[in-house]
Chains A and B, each alone.
Chain A
Amino acid sequence: MKCKNVHNKLIFFLEKELPVSEMEQVQKHLDECSKCARFAAEMRNTLQILDNDKVNDENPFFYTRVKERLSKQAEEQPAVRPVLVRILQPVAFSMLLLLGVYGGFMLGQAPNANIAGSGFTEQEVIPYWNELEAEPIEAFLME
C-alpha cells in the first residue's frame, strides 16, 4: 500500500472502520514507513482530544437558572389586551387618519375667500431673501 492510500484511509483505520484485510495492510505500512507512522500518531493524539472534550460535570445551579429564565420571560410578556381594545384601537386610528386626509382635501378645494394677509407676508419676506443673496456666506459667518 502506498503512502497516499494510507493517508486517505488513516482516520477510518484509527476508528477501526476498515475491513480486516485493509486494517492489516495499513498496519503493515505504518510499521514500515516512519513518516506515515508519525502522522498516524499525531492524528490519534488529536482525535483523542474529543474523548476528553466532553461536558462530564453537571452545573448544580442549572435548574435554578432555567426557572429564573422562565419567570423573567413570563414577566416580560405583555398582558393580554381585551379583544375590543385590540380591534377598536386600530379602527379608531384608521378613522382619524381618513378624517385627516378628507379634511386636507376639503381645505384644498375651499374658495379663496380671504387672502389679503398673505400678500403682505410675501412682501415682508422677500427683502430678507434678497439680502441673503447679496451677502456672501463667508462674510455672514465671519460676523
Chain B
Amino acid sequence: MSDTDIIDQLKQGSEAAFKTLVDTHQKLVVNTCYGLVQNREDAEDIAQDVFVEVYRNIDKFRADAKLSTWLYRIAVNRSLNHIRDNKKRKWFHSFEDEVANKRREAMQVSTSNTDEPEYELENQQRAIILKEAINSLPQNQKVAFTLSKYEELSYQEIAEVMDLSVSSVESLLFRAKKGLQKKLYKCFKKKCL
C-alpha cells in the first residue's frame, strides 16, 4: 500500500490503514526520537505520541507533501519539546540519579564484541563521551547531525524536514562535525578517551 493510499484510507477513518502506517513507519519515528533524546524508552513514548498526533491531524496533511517528511518533523519537534521539559525537571534531580541515568543509557549501546568485557567497558565510556558531545551541540546542528547519522538522510531530505536550504544544512553539518571533533580532541588530550 502506498503512502497516498494509506493517507486516503486514514482520512476515511480506516483502522487497518492506521495499523499499516504505524507498522511501516515505526522504526523511522523511534530511531529519529532515539537519536535526539538518547533513551530507548523515552523515544518509544514520544513515537507513540507522534502517531497519535498523526491520527488526530490527518485532515491537515497536504496531499503534495511527503508522509515521511511530515513524520520526521513531528518526531523532531516532539523530541525537542521532551528535551526542553527534561532540562527543567533535571533541576530537581540529584547528581546520583544523573550518573545512574548516564550509565543506563550507555548500557543501551549494543556492541558486537560482547565476549570482551574490557572492550565493552571502553566502548561504554566512548558512548558516554560521544553522546555528551552530541548533546552539547546547538539544537539545529544536533537535529541535522541526528537525521544524517541515525536516519542516513541526504542533505536535500534534511533540508525538507528542517525547512532550510541545502546549503544551510551543509553548513550546519560542517559546524556540527567540527564541534564534535573539537570536543573529542579535548577529551583525547585529557586522556578521557
Once the chains bind, are A55 and B52 in contact (CB under 8 Å)? Answer: no
CA A81 to CA B178, docked complex, whole Å = 57
Classify chain A's interface size. 20 to 34
Once the chains bind, are A66 and B126 in contact (CB under 8 Å)? Answer: no
A-B contact count (CB 8 A): 82
Report the stretch among A41-49, A87-95, A129-137 that lies at the interface: A41-49
Contact with A along B152-193 (1 / 0, CB 8 A): 000000000000000000000000011011001100100001
Taking CB atoms, residues of chain B closer than 8 Å to A45 are 123, 126
Q: B67: CB under 8 A from chain A?
A: no
CA A54 to CA B51, docked complex, whole Å = 20
CA A66 to CA B18, docked complex, whole Å = 10
Once the chains bind, are B111 and A69 in contact (CB under 8 Å)? Answer: no
CA A45 to CA B187, docked complex, whole Å = 14
A9 to chain B, nearest CB (A): 9
Query: Do A63 and B44 form a contact, CB below 8 Å, given A46-B130, A49-B109, A73-B52?
Result: no
What are 23 of the A-B contact pairs (CB < 8 Å)? Answer: A8-B181, A11-B177, A11-B178, A11-B180, A11-B181, A15-B177, A43-B181, A43-B184, A43-B188, A45-B123, A45-B126, A46-B130, A52-B109, A52-B112, A53-B110, A53-B127, A55-B31, A58-B23, A58-B26, A63-B23, A63-B26, A65-B44, A73-B52
Contacts A55-B34, A66-B51 known; list 13 others, CB within 8 Å: A7-B181, A49-B109, A49-B126, A53-B109, A54-B31, A55-B27, A55-B31, A58-B26, A62-B47, A62-B48, A63-B23, A66-B52, A70-B55
List of 4 A-B pairs having minimum Cβ-Cβ separation, nearest first: A11-B181, A46-B126, A66-B51, A11-B177
